[in-house]
Each structure stands twice: as structure tokens, then as C-alpha cells.
A = this chain, B = another copy of it.
Amino acid sequence: MRKASIVSIGNELLSGQTTDTNATYLSDRLLSISIPVVSVYTIGDDKDAIIRAFNLACSEADVVIATGGLGPTDDDLTRQAFAEFLGVELQLQDELLQKIREFFACRDLQMPDKNKIQAYIPAGAEAIANNLGTAPGIMVRVGAVREPPLLIALPGVPSEMKQMFEESVLARLQRFAGGQAVAVRKLKCFGAGESAIAEMLGDMMQRGRNPLINCTVGYGVVTLHIIAAAKDNEKARQMAENDEKSLRNILGKLVYGTGEQTLAEVVGEKLARTNKTLAVAESCTGGTLAKLLTDIPGASRYFMYGWVVYSNRAKVSELGVPADFIDKYGAVSEQVARAMAEEARRKAGTDFAIAITGIAGPAGGSELKPVGLVYVSVDSNSGCETKRYNFSHDRDFIRLRAAQTALNMLRLQLDID
């Protein structure tokens, strides 16, 4: 099987200013075409360090992808390092210069002199078109005789790098990959922790098993990755699919989706498919739930009204929560959550309404009502369901976890209908 190595270039990656998301993206895409990444070398804008990293990467991988350092300024040295590593000169390519001039002309700008350097690439190398910026990429087969490694340089700006990789690099690498095929499936789960799920799956998560099953966790969502390797795509796909079926059997309702699906997306699809509508009333989550819902394009088909009743007065004036409920039970109580959900649904005239009230912290907790205590109500024409939760960790976590949990309650209700 072919292997890849990534060389991430840029002082900003070593000073804590920027997190290297390009390496994550490329690793994921390369694995999907059966070229696992075996190493990532991150270095600054330093010609010698770049050449050293190219040597190391080429010694252990068949494909080396470098990102960053192709800009027009003096501190961008990847182009020069690339040429020096190959032992060739940089050559001006007229078509590239023309394209860069056009880039500026379209924006009614004169091309600064500095940008001319971006039209130079190492002799014998191939340019990779950049439709979003001025820096073309560079691709070359290192060594005229032996086949690999293939050395590729792309800009560090994520949007440019991604478009160029998808449009000009991916298909080439796919042909180059040959060998074993890999199929990856992701199952998204909500409602149980990582260790509980691992226990349910038992031997299936054993290291060295094929398909390999491992998991990552974020704000209550457990993502199971099924990675199947076989001699061809069809076989790998089938193995991954069989494992997906087994996992779904074991985990049941805990599985809410696949791939990159979010809870808001799955809930939105169910609402849209059944022509149902939704309103939300939020206190401690302060708009987080509405934002998650409206992150999804087309949410206006089912999401109608949202209230952020952050003050007690807002709860009373906008959602008719009886003032004596707040005095008697407190703003964070089953009674207030329920009153919020019922009135939100009535006022909005929607099929469902969700209400959330709780204590996100860090202040405002008490022994009886600690930070992390959250009530969630889901109201529909079959009645109002209210649940009490105790979330831990910090303010951000509690708020996002509460909103996700509310979406999950609605998802389970929508599954029954």
C-alpha cells in the first residue's frame, strides 16, 4: 500500500497562532483513497528546514504533500526550497504570470511586483491551477528513473488548498494508489458515553481487527469510525457495511446518523419530511439551540420562532410564565421549562416546541441547584415531556450539551411518530 507524508510549512504554525487543520483534512482525504499518512512534519518558513523535511518525508513515503510558504512575500520560501531540493532552477512560466495578472485585473487592481515570483516554478515540475488565489501549486515526480515519490506543494490557505487538492490532485493520487482499497464509514451516536458504547461493542473494537472500529467524542456525540481494508473497493465497502449493520443492531436508537451529520441536521430532515414545524424557547443556552438549527441551510422550512428569554421578566412577558412559578419553583425548574415550551408552541402555532432552562455557570449555582442543572421540555400535541439533567465541565460544554440533548429528545419523539 502507498504511504503519504505531510510537510506543513509556516512560522504561524510554530508560534501558537494557527492550528494545522490542513494536515487533518489531507489525512482524512488520503486515507479515503487508501493512502494512509505515516508522518506530519511541521516546520517554519526556513529553507534548510524545508529541505530537511522533504528529505525525511521522501525517505518514508510515496506521496509527499507540502502546504504553505507559496505566498508572494520574502518569508515564503517553499518554492525556492522545492527547487533546491530537486537541484534545479526556478523558471518563469508565462501562462502563470498571465493568470496572476488576470486575477488582479478582475478586481480592478494592478499586480504588485512582489506577486511575479508566484509565476516561477522549479524546472521540470508541473503547475497546479489555483482558482481562488494567486499562488499556483507545484507537482513533480522526484527522481527521473524510479517511480515514487511524488512531491506536491499547495498553498497554506485552507480554502485554496482544499479546492486545488480536490480538483487537481485527488484523482491523480487515486490512480497512483492502486494496491489495497479502504472503505470508511462513520456512525454518529448520542445518548451514551464512550466507555458505555465501548462496553456494548466488546471485541468489535479490538486493535488489529479488520474492519478496525475506533471512536472519537465531542460534546456528547460519539462517532464510531469503521475502517475496512480489502483487495478491492467493492469488498472493502461490503465489509464496512456489514459492520455498520452489526453496530446498528447493538446500539439501536443511540445511532442518530452517519458521516458528518449533526443532530440538528437529522432532526431538521425528519421535520421537513413530515411537514412539521418547530419553535424554541431558551434561557441558559441563550440562542445556542436556535443557532444549531439555523446552521442548516433550508431551516426556514420547519424552524419558525425562537425566544431567548434570558431575564425573568422576558420569561413572564414573552412566554407567559406565571411570576409566582419563578418565585415558588425558581427560574430553573420543571414547572418553568414546561410553561415556556407550552406557551412557545401556542404562540408560534408549531407542531413542536422545545424549552431549555438551566444554570450554565460558572456563577449562579447552589447546593440544591448546582451549575450544570438543566431542564428540557418538548411540547407537542401528544403532551409535554420534561427531563432533568446534570451536566459537568464548563459553561461552553454545558450550553452546547444542553442544546444537543434537547435536539436528541425531539429526535426520539419524531422517531416514534
Contacts and interface: CB of A to CB of B under 8 A. Distances in A.
Contacts of A17: 28, 214, 216, 223, 225
A214 B287 contact: no
A14 B42 contact: no
Interface residues of A, number: 80
A412 interface: no
A236 to B, nearest CB: 15
Contacts of A223: 17
Contact of A38 (B49, B74, B282, B288): B49
A14 B41 contact: no
A193 interface: no
Interface stretch (A84-92, A237-245, A311-319, A372-380): A311-319
Interface in A282-312: 282, 285-291, 293-295, 297-300, 303-311
Given A207-B74, A294-B310, A286 B304 contact: no
Q: Give the number of times this chain occurs in the complex, counting copies.
A: 2
Nearest to A362: B297
Contacts of A37: 14-15
Interface string A27-71: 111110000111111111000010000001000000000000000
A38 B14 contact: yes
Interface stretch (A18-26, A246-254, A267-275): A18-26
B40 A27 contact: no
Contact of A73 (B29, B207, B361, B396): B207
A19 B24 contact: yes
Contacts of A28: 15-17
A275 to B, nearest CB: 15
A14 B285 CA distance: 34
Given A14-B40, A18-B216, A305-B318, A287 B297 contact: no
A299 B286 CA distance: 10
A280 B290 CA distance: 13
B311 A347 contact: no
28 contacts: A15-B227, A16-B25, A16-B26, A16-B30, A17-B28, A17-B214, A17-B216, A17-B223, A18-B24, A20-B23, A23-B42, A39-B49, A40-B40, A73-B207, A74-B207, A282-B287, A286-B290, A286-B303, A287-B288, A287-B306, A287-B308, A290-B291, A297-B395, A300-B310, A305-B309, A305-B318, A313-B349, A317-B347
Interface of A: 8, 11-21, 23-31, 36-44, 49, 56, 73-75, 207, 214, 216, 223, 225, 227, 280, 282, 285-291, 293-295, 297-300, 303-311, 313-314, 317-318, 347-349, 360-363, 395-396, 399
